[in-house]
Amino acid sequence: MSSYNPPLNDMAFTLAHVLDARSQWAKIPAFKDLDQDTAMAVIEQAGTFASELLAPINATGDEHGCEWTPEGVHTPPGFREAYAAFVEQGWPALACAPEHGGQGLPHLLNAALYEMLAGANHGWTMYPGLLYGAYETLAAHASPEVQSLYLPHIVSGEYLATMCLSEPQAGSDLGLIRTRGNWSNPDQVGNGARVHITGSKVFISGGDSDMSSNLVHLVLFRLPEAPTGTKGISLALVPKYLPDGTKNKVFADSIEKKMGIHGSATCQMRFEQAEGWLIGEPRQGLRAMFLMMNAARLHVALQGLGHLEAATQGAWAYAKERLQMRAPQRAAGMPREADPIAFQPAMRRVLWRLRARTDGGRVFAYWLAQRLDEAHHHPDAQERQCALSDVNFLTPVAKAFLTDLGHRSADEALQVWGGYGYVREFGIEQTVRDSRIAMIYEGTNEIQAIDLIQRKFLADGGAHAEDLITRMAQHAAIACARTPTRPFGESLELQIKHWRAAHEAILLRATHGIEHVLEVADDYLQATGHTMLAWAWTQIALACMKCAETQPTSELEARLASAQHGINYLLDDALPHWARLHRAPSHLASIQVDS
Amino acid sequence: MSSYNPPLNDMAFTLAHVLDARSQWAKIPAFKDLDQDTAMAVIEQAGTFASELLAPINATGDEHGCEWTPEGVHTPPGFREAYAAFVEQGWPALACAPEHGGQGLPHLLNAALYEMLAGANHGWTMYPGLLYGAYETLAAHASPEVQSLYLPHIVSGEYLATMCLSEPQAGSDLGLIRTRGNWSNPDQVGNGARVHITGSKVFISGGDSDMSSNLVHLVLFRLPEAPTGTKGISLALVPKYLPDGTKNKVFADSIEKKMGIHGSATCQMRFEQAEGWLIGEPRQGLRAMFLMMNAARLHVALQGLGHLEAATQGAWAYAKERLQMRAPQRAAGMPREADPIAFQPAMRRVLWRLRARTDGGRVFAYWLAQRLDEAHHHPDAQERQCALSDVNFLTPVAKAFLTDLGHRSADEALQVWGGYGYVREFGIEQTVRDSRIAMIYEGTNEIQAIDLIQRKFLADGGAHAEDLITRMAQHAAIACARTPTRPFGESLELQIKHWRAAHEAILLRATHGIEHVLEVADDYLQATGHTMLAWAWTQIALACMKCAETQPTSELEARLASAQHGINYLLDDALPHWARLHRAPSHLASIQVDS
């Protein structure tokens, strides 16, 4: 049976020893009273919520799925109750600003919360998953009137929120959106003005549900005479129930039958002259949405990490219990005909691979959350800008690389269970199915790769990448200076060399046309992700050595072994990507695609 | 909606120009009357069966699944009727020997048949999937009495067959089997003697169904006083209905809820003093089963190929239709705001990657089927032996590498559909789920890797691998001799160099202990698979050049482009595996697994 153990030790180690979170909080006025114990108390409570309330309804949520009725969508058994507890315990407000009724805690803690929610029950987590994005959008762009009507209910989680972007003909290409809106009163236009919206939206997560008393839809649409393409797109808030309590003309016409996250209602929505309010200025809709995208994409990256953690802990637990065949080096105290499969070399390698990815992936994701906090709150403007540049550059990497790793690792972990892995009751096949969506939504991983190589790397000619290299090289030098960490430092230096060579290759490709750059976009993203893991494993090793000076433990030994496995064996997985970045252009464009 | 187009052109090209099947058939008395046209007529009919009878019930089979009732298992709508047509058309008898009522056609044609059955409907294909294995086992080992009772019904497909190996505590490790049997009459022991079988078996595909009038179970069990481990295992045939028409004491107690192949009933079986016959000699059960394993594992490899083909054709078709964004190099005659996504560099690379794998994978699998035919039927004993050595060495590679490639490619292809890929009605997510099982059953892919490196490569000190290299090098030399194919020849030479270096590394590892060999078993298998693809792409290129001399066509151009994409970009995917084969041993064994 599936269960979920909050990885509290790993999180505490990452915060205290790898990221030195307390030193950062001390520099930021908003977080100056926060310390490691308080932070871990919050994370521990979040872990209890995830393991005790969400994990038990994960498999049943998958089995039952959601039910569409003409009166509305019913969520699986227990989902409503868990959400009521989530609101009651104040989780939606965690990272919202105190002036809006939030707790004002760092994104870093929100990251730990959302990693655990997704790891314990991805389907359920879809419902509150868009609250923070809606909060940020409304806090930054909505008129005071709209804010006063909706913001408190979003912060408390009393109302849920959706993002209505995709239409049947407009998925990755939002420029093709056809949903239209009119001013309700031609004399009142601009931010906060009333609009009537008509159109169809698809793939709307939580487009309807029985979890909350009201829902707000953030809808992309076109005002009359708007230009075609992305420049003509505006944003509106459209509630399910209007302030006077009447039902708005918003309809969830059906729900999708999907590969996974069955507990999440993915709705086809219809707006029939539905009433709403313009959010931000006319035709600035995409800009308003993009502002919230870094946080939203980081949340998806954390889903990838959550799946990675869930698969890893499940595989280790099963491999220690399941007895099959004798291992070449037998388990101690096993006077039997078979050893735990964790002792088989093939399984052992899978187990450590999973663990190394999880440990490294967590450091990367949490560091990015920390940088997001600095981008928002650091008192120094230059520090804020540098942090924001890190966030902009690396968010597409975190989103695509960690979701890819989460799904692929779950798929690899399934193999540990053998035939039982293919059977529903052991849970891992659900993780494989659930994790697959994170590679698609919030911008497909291909879109992330294009974003990275074109809008992030090429846009400044590689300047920010060089800035990252400077900081990585500092860690590499520190690691090289001491014998136990030298292999890490040397390995990180090698990755830096590869990364820099890749940058030169991309700049050269760009002189031949963007086609040649885009065809290696995915390789560049994967290679960059591995470079980030090398950096993370080096930082873990440095932290382990520091801790071991005062108190060596078997836990630290295992942590170091995991990082060592990463640099010794897993950076090889980047070799195909480095190689392809330097290959001649493919000339695939000259071959007829219908041949 | 999912559909399936039999890849007849690709199959015809492979048979006629790459494998030169006709020349081989001319040398083998049993096939001397067979020619390309006759073979393609058979394959075409098989394609019609797959596309017209099986593809339409693939999605519905997934949706309905099987139903367990106390009276027996009901298969999904249409499954019975399709099976009746399959029997009526004589497909089960295709590769069976004429002396047993079979058609005596080559395994090569059976390979094309089973690739298409699995590509069109994997769940359905599970039912007849074990017929050939049962046929081979009974033909080789059963007593004349048992043969006369059951063989004709197996050849005709009137009876279905199962393999009852796994037990809850015995999956990859058959030495742990506990099912017991007694002689019915202590005076009649040995091959063909009556036995009574008691025990439980799990993961029995088609353990019960409403598809056929009777079922035979081939059951592994222990006779009284049998030694522990694999040496004590015997094989029995246990029918669902006894020759006098009474129901035998064999019970399907439940069916598994699985990730995929919902149309296939995976049963938990209980034998309660069930009546049967010993097949082969006492305690020779595993030997009897191993004999049929090459053909059975090749069938699973063909399932991987079938999924690869299905994913490839589906992705190409969708990518040519779906319009999103403008491509850097726009499609001709598209005066619109968006181009087909097939023109996007990121998608184009995925599409050609899928095609190159499919083309190369098919040549590898079909060549192995051809070698299996030679191993059985070649008039020259030395040729038979060499062919058998190829089959023994490469069958684990085909099974693991092609099923891995099938699943991974389906998973990559899903991305082409974006959000629609995650929705059931488009079919690709079913391919991802269905394809996953092929990496587990018939020996997990980890078991295949151990088989390859330990029982195949190390067993003869690498002698047969060198023999394969000699033949590969001949093709490489031919390719190098002509300008258009030189890049293929050079690339194949490089792979040979890598492969040979890997062999030296493995032999060196072996001197340090088997643990160090086994921890790179998977890398060796993956690297070997890529070497086989390099060989296949080179042979495709040679065949294309030969054909182009007489008649250059755009079809040939595309075929060559696919092979070129393979050698230029996809052999890089083997780099991590080559690298890890040369890495220092991991010493993971020295770390406590419970840390």
Domain map of chain A by residue range?
Answer: 8-67+75-134, 141-284, 446-586
Q: Please report the pLDDT score of residue A536 as a whole number.
A: 98
Residue A61 identity (one-letter amino acid)? G
Chain A residue with minimum CA distance to B425: A257
Q: Which two tokens stand for residue A573?
A: 């997985």
CB A498 within 8 A of CB A571: no
State the smallest CA–CA distance between residue A76 and chain B in angstroms.
19
The average pLDDT across B279-297 equals 86
Q: Please report the pLDDT score of residue B206 as a whole number.
A: 97
Q: Please judge whether A575 and B575 are an interchain contact, meaning their C-beta atoms are less than 8 angstroms apart.
A: yes
Q: Please report the pLDDT score of residue A334 as a whole number.
A: 66
Q: Please judge whether B437 and A421 are an interchain contact, meaning their C-beta atoms are less than 8 angstroms apart.
A: no
Asked whether the ipTM of the predicted complex exceeds the cut of 0.90, the reply is yes
**Residue B593: its chain A contacts at CB < 8 A?**
316, 319-320, 331, 340, 342-343, 348, 351
Q: Region of B513 please: left (phi>0), alpha (psi -120 to 50) or beta.
A: left
Helix ranges (H only) for B130-214 are 131-141, 144-156
Chain B residue with minimum CA distance to A415: B440
State the smallest CA–CA distance between residue A162 and chain B in angstroms.
17
CA angle B435, B438, B440 (to 5 degrees): 125
**Residue B347: its chain A contacts at CB < 8 A?**
446
Point out the residue among B349, B419, B557 whose CB comes nearest to the CB of A166. B419
State the smallest CA–CA distance between residue B344 and chain A in angstroms.
9
Point out the residue among A176, A579, A595 whose CB comes nearest to the CB of B338. A176
Q: Which two tokens stand for residue B163?
A: 């393999």
Q: Please report the pLDDT score of residue B2 as a whole number.
A: 63
Angstrom distances, CA of residue B21 to CA of B17, B369, B374: 8, 11, 11
**Residue A433: its chain B contacts at CB < 8 A?**
259, 433
Query: What does the alpha-carbon distance between residue A232 and residue A225 come to, in Å, rounded to a whole number?
Result: 8
Count of CB contacts below 8 A, A vs B?
A: 252
Q: Which two tokens stand for residue B442?
A: 């018939």
**Residue A258: its chain B contacts at CB < 8 A?**
422-424, 429
Q: Please judge whether A349 and B588 are an interchain contact, meaning their C-beta atoms are less than 8 angstroms apart.
A: yes
The average pLDDT across B226-254 equals 95
Work out the number of other CB atoms within 10 angstroms of the CB of residue B484.
13
Above 50 in pLDDT, residue B501?
A: yes
State the smallest CA–CA distance between residue A512 and chain B in angstroms.
12
Burial A366-388 (b: 16+ CB within 10 A, else e): bbbbbbbbbbbbbeeeeeeebbb
Q: Please judge whether B176 and A436 are an interchain contact, meaning their C-beta atoms are less than 8 angstroms apart.
A: no
The average pLDDT across B396-413 equals 98
Work out the number of other CB atoms within 10 angstroms of the CB of residue B549.
8
Point out the residue among A175, A338, A450 whose CB comes nearest to the CB of B346. A450
Q: Please judge whether B446 and A346 are an interchain contact, meaning their C-beta atoms are less than 8 angstroms apart.
A: yes
Name the strand (E) or helix (H) holding A236: strand A233-239
Fold observed for domain B8-66+75-136: Butyryl-Coa Dehydrogenase, subunit A; domain 1 (1.10.540)
Residue B257 identity (one-letter amino acid)? K
**Residue A439: its chain B contacts at CB < 8 A?**
415
State the smallest CA–CA distance between residue B448 and chain A in angstroms.
11
Active site residues of B: 442
Q: Please judge whether A257 and B424 are an interchain contact, meaning their C-beta atoms are less than 8 angstroms apart.
A: yes
Query: What does the alpha-carbon distance between residue B392 and residue B375 come to, in Å, rounded to a whole number?
Result: 10
- Residue A182's DSSP bridge partners are A196
Chain B residue with minimum CA distance to A408: B408
* CA B143, chain centre distance (Å): 29
pLDDT in tens, chain A (595 residues): 469 999 999 999 999 999 999 999 999 999 999 999 999 999 999 999 999 999 999 999 999 999 999 999 999 999 999 999 999 999 999 999 999 999 999 999 999 999 999 999 999 999 999 999 999 999 999 999 999 999 999 999 999 999 999 999 988 888 899 999 999 999 999 999 999 999 999 999 999 999 999 999 999 999 998 998 888 999 999 999 999 999 999 999 999 999 999 999 999 999 999 999 999 999 999 888 876 777 889 999 999 999 999 999 999 999 999 998 888 887 777 657 888 999 999 999 999 999 999 999 999 999 999 999 999 999 999 999 999 999 999 999 999 999 999 999 999 999 999 999 999 999 999 999 999 999 999 999 999 999 999 999 999 999 999 999 999 999 999 999 999 999 999 999 999 999 999 999 999 999 999 999 999 999 999 999 999 999 999 999 999 999 988 877 889 999 999 999 999 999 999 999 999 999 988 777 777 655 4
State the smallest CA–CA distance between residue B528 and chain A in angstroms.
16
Q: Please report the pLDDT score of residue B138 as a whole number.
A: 96
Chain B residue with minimum CA distance to A590: B329
Active site residue A446: no
CB A329 within 8 A of CB B592: no
Q: Please judge whether A328 and B515 are an interchain contact, meaning their C-beta atoms are less than 8 angstroms apart.
A: yes
**Residue A329: its chain B contacts at CB < 8 A?**
515, 589
State the smallest CA–CA distance between residue A107 and chain B in angstroms.
28
Q: How do residues B24-52 score in pLDDT, each as one tens digit?
A: 999 999 999 999 999 999 999 999 999 99
Catalytic residue among A383, A442, A446, A504: A442
User: Are the folds of B8-66+75-136 and B141-284 the same?
Assistant: no
Work out the number of other CB atoms within 10 angstroms of the CB of residue A68.
17
Q: Please judge whether A589 and B329 are an interchain contact, meaning their C-beta atoms are less than 8 angstroms apart.
A: yes
Tell me the backbone φ, ψ of residue B233, rounded to 5 degrees.
-100, 135
Q: Please report the pLDDT score of residue B291 as a whole number.
A: 67
Chain A residue with minimum CA distance to B443: A418
Query: What does the alpha-carbon distance between residue B483 and residue B498 come to, in Å, rounded to a whole number?
Result: 23
Average pLDDT, chain B: 95
Q: How do residues B452-469 score in pLDDT, each as one tens digit?
A: 999 999 999 999 999 999
Point out the residue among B171, B572, B588 whose CB comes nearest to the CB of A576. B572
Q: Please judge whether B337 and A450 are an interchain contact, meaning their C-beta atoms are less than 8 angstroms apart.
A: no
Query: What does the alpha-carbon distance between residue B320 and residue B341 come to, in Å, rounded to a whole number?
Result: 7
- State pTM to two decimals: 0.96
Query: What does the alpha-carbon distance between residue B238 and residue B274 come to, in Å, rounded to a whole number?
Result: 7
Q: Please report the pLDDT score of residue A126 as a whole number.
A: 98
Q: Which two tokens stand for residue B149?
A: 């009772």
CATH architecture, domain defined by A8-67+75-134: Orthogonal Bundle (1.10)
Q: Please judge whether A522 and B349 are an interchain contact, meaning their C-beta atoms are less than 8 angstroms apart.
A: yes
Q: Which of A495, A410, A312, A349 has its CA nearest to residue B577?
A: A349
Q: Please judge whether B422 and A411 are an interchain contact, meaning their C-beta atoms are less than 8 angstroms apart.
A: no
**Residue B421: its chain A contacts at CB < 8 A?**
440
Chain A residue with minimum CA distance to B259: A422
Work out the number of other CB atoms within 10 angstroms of the CB of residue B60.
15
> Could you identify the residue written with the tokens 């490691």?
A36
Point out the residue among B420, B423, B579 whose CB comes nearest to the CB of A257. B423
- Residue A201's DSSP bridge partners are A269
Q: Please judge whether A557 and B338 are an interchain contact, meaning their C-beta atoms are less than 8 angstroms apart.
A: no
CB A160 within 8 A of CB A127: yes
Q: Please judge whether A518 and B344 are an interchain contact, meaning their C-beta atoms are less than 8 angstroms apart.
A: yes
Q: Please report the pLDDT score of residue B552 as a whole number.
A: 74
Residue A14 identity (one-letter amino acid)? T
Q: Please report the pLDDT score of residue A335 as a whole number.
A: 59
CB B306 within 8 A of CB B406: yes
Residue A276 identity (one-letter amino acid)? G
Q: Please report the pLDDT score of residue A595 as a whole number.
A: 41
Structure confidence at residue B250 as a pLDDT band (50, 70, 90): very high
Q: Please judge whether B348 and A589 are an interchain contact, meaning their C-beta atoms are less than 8 angstroms apart.
A: yes
CB A62 within 8 A of CB A425: no
- For B507-523, the DSSP string reads HHHHHH-HHHHHTTHHH
Point out the residue among B171, B319, B513 whose CB comes nearest to the CB of A418. B171
**Residue A444: its chain B contacts at CB < 8 A?**
415, 418
Chain B residue with minimum CA distance to A326: B173
Angstrom distances, CA of residue B183 to CA of A98, A342, B229, B232, B241: 80, 39, 21, 15, 19
Q: Please judge whether A229 and B337 are an interchain contact, meaning their C-beta atoms are less than 8 angstroms apart.
A: yes
State the smallest CA–CA distance between residue A94 and chain B in angstroms.
30
Fold observed for domain A141-284: Butyryl-CoA Dehydrogenase, subunit A; domain 2 (2.40.110)
Q: Please judge whether B320 and A352 are an interchain contact, meaning their C-beta atoms are less than 8 angstroms apart.
A: no
Query: What does the alpha-carbon distance between residue A230 and residue A175 come to, in Å, rounded to a whole number?
Result: 4
**Residue B418: its chain A contacts at CB < 8 A?**
171-172, 440, 444
**Residue B167: its chain A contacts at CB < 8 A?**
none
Above 50 in pLDDT, residue B330?
A: yes
Angstrom distances, CA of residue B187 to CA of B193, B223, B279: 9, 15, 17
Q: Please report the pLDDT score of residue A594 as a whole number.
A: 57
- Residue B231's DSSP bridge partners are none
Point out the residue among B169, B519, B576 whose CB comes nearest to the CB of A345. B519
